[in-house]
Amino acid sequence: MVIASDFPEFLHFFDVPFIYQLIYEQFFGTHAPLLTQYYVFIILKKTLEGYRTNGALNRSGPGNYEIREGSKVRLMYRVLFSVVVLLSLAACQGDDPDSQSPEKEDENSSETSEESNIEGELWKGDGDLAVVLSHGAVYNAESWDDQGKKLADNGITAFATKDTSPRTLKKAAAMLKEEHGAEEVAVMGASAGGSSAIEAVTEGDFDFQKVVLLSPGGDPMEISDTPVLTVYSEDEGYRELEESTEEVMKTMEISGGAHAQEIFKGEKSEEVMSEIIRFLKDENTS
């Protein structure tokens, strides 16, 4: 066998949302049409599932895969083909960012003030705790609507950024303190958005009080001095986190194979949200 690190750098992170994010950001920034995003996600997902099924690709940990030598050429071909499809679909659909999402109808959420100059969705709670939400690659800021409402109902102000770069996440956190009176700010990231959240925390120039990760693309173990709750499905390969000796590391495994924000569409949705809110509000994990 050969290890993915023997291939071009992006194959080292051959997780569907992670490789998708790299291709997406490389060619389209933050304005790829949602239909393009969906098609490419499905292509990459089916490719990965196929390699898992025939034994060519075996996961040994988060973001780390072993690839059989005989599958190298086929794997590279599939990935490059997916890039070509992505380019073709984008050329056909245009790049108008206003066409990506429906008009907002929810009166309980709003865009942030013009003063902050950060685009996103805000759900205002009545407490002094706030959380920045970083969506997965095939989602958008509006996809957090149900979770944003529940957080606000529990006194937690939530702000979902449209751009999920680490820099924007930190700017949003500062905005929540300066403009909305938050005393403590946490960050919650899903899939590729989880990778950005990890980077925002480990860069160290903003003091996030807590971190919630949903099937993150990066490694939660990189965070050493901030309380972390990692939520994942049993089929995703994060179980080594349960063996962590770090006191700040907490985990929640749920049955099935739902990935990241898909977890909120399953029967465990209420249980997951209750645990997240409990973790965020628990003073003993600060």
Asked if 129 and 270 sit in the same domain, the reply is yes
In this predicted structure, the answer to whether residue 35 has a pLDDT above a threshold of 80 is no
Average pLDDT score over residue span 264-269: 90
In a domain, 113, yes or no: no
Q: 118-122, 140-144, 197-201, 219-223: which range is least confident on average?
A: 219-223
Asked if 135 and 236 sit in the same domain, the reply is yes
Asked if 79 and 22 sit in the same domain, the reply is yes
pLDDT for residue 236 = 81
Write down the pTM of the prediction: 0.65
In a domain, 108, yes or no: no
Residue 232's DSSP bridge partners are 253
SS3 at position 269: helix
Residue after which a domain boundary falls, among 80, 96, 112: 96
In a domain, 277, yes or no: yes
Task: Give the residue among 125, 146, 124 at the shortest CA–CA distance from 135.
Answer: 146
Asked if 172 and 79 sit in the same domain, the reply is no
In angstroms, rounded to a whole number, what is the distance separating the alpha carbons of residues 18 and 215? 11
Asked if 160 and 260 sit in the same domain, the reply is yes
CATH number at residue 276: 3.40.50.1820
Q: Which amino acid is at 53?
A: T
Asked if 132 and 270 sit in the same domain, the reply is yes
pLDDT for residue 256 = 87
In a domain, 114, yes or no: no
Asked if 238 and 197 sit in the same domain, the reply is yes
In a domain, 105, yes or no: no
Residue carrying structure tokens 């937690």: 156
Residue carrying structure tokens 């990459």: 44
Q: Who's near 118: CB < 8 A, 6+ residues apart? A: 112, 161, 168, 171, 172, 175
- Residue 176 is given by DSSP the state H
**Of residues 139 and 92, more confidently modeled:** 139
- Give me the torsion for CA of 133, 20, 45, 250, rounded to 10°: -40
pLDDT for residue 182 = 97
User: What's the per-residue H, E or C state across 89-117?
Assistant: HHHHHCCCHHHCCCCCCCCCCECCCCCCC
Asked if 71 and 144 sit in the same domain, the reply is no
Asked if 264 and 139 sit in the same domain, the reply is yes
Per the structure, the complete domain to which residue 257 belongs is given by 120-285
pLDDT band at 270 (very low <50, low <70, confident <90, very high): very high
In angstroms, rounded to a whole number, what is the distance separating the alpha carbons of residues 14 and 210? 27
Residue carrying structure tokens 């924000």: 261
In a domain, 215, yes or no: yes
Q: Which amino acid is at 49?
A: E
Q: Report H helices in the chain.
A: 16-28, 34-53, 72-93, 145-153, 166-180, 192-202, 269-281
SS3 at position 259: coil
In this predicted structure, the answer to whether residue 27 has a pLDDT above a threshold of 50 is no
**Of residues 2 and 140, more confidently modeled:** 140
How many angstroms separate the Cα of 86 from the Cα of each of 134, 168, 208? 23, 26, 35
Asked if 151 and 233 sit in the same domain, the reply is yes
In angstroms, rounded to a whole number, what is the distance separating the alpha carbons of residues 259 and 276? 16
Q: 77-81, 110-114, 194-198, 203-207: which range is least confident on average?
A: 110-114
Average pLDDT score over residue span 96-105: 39
pLDDT for residue 248 = 81
In a domain, 103, yes or no: no
Give the total number of structural domains in the chain.
2
In this predicted structure, the answer to whether residue 99 has a pLDDT above a threshold of 60 is no
Angle among Cα 207, 189, 8 to the nearest 5 degrees reads 105
In angstroms, rounded to a whole number, what is the distance separating the alpha carbons of residues 128 and 146? 20
In angstroms, rounded to a whole number, what is the distance separating the alpha carbons of residues 269 and 273? 6
Q: What is the mean pLDDT of the chain?
A: 75
Asked if 140 and 281 sit in the same domain, the reply is yes
In angstroms, rounded to a whole number, what is the distance separating the alpha carbons of residues 11 and 51? 14
In angstroms, rounded to a whole number, what is the distance separating the alpha carbons of residues 22 and 20? 5
In a domain, 9, yes or no: yes
Asked if 171 and 274 sit in the same domain, the reply is yes
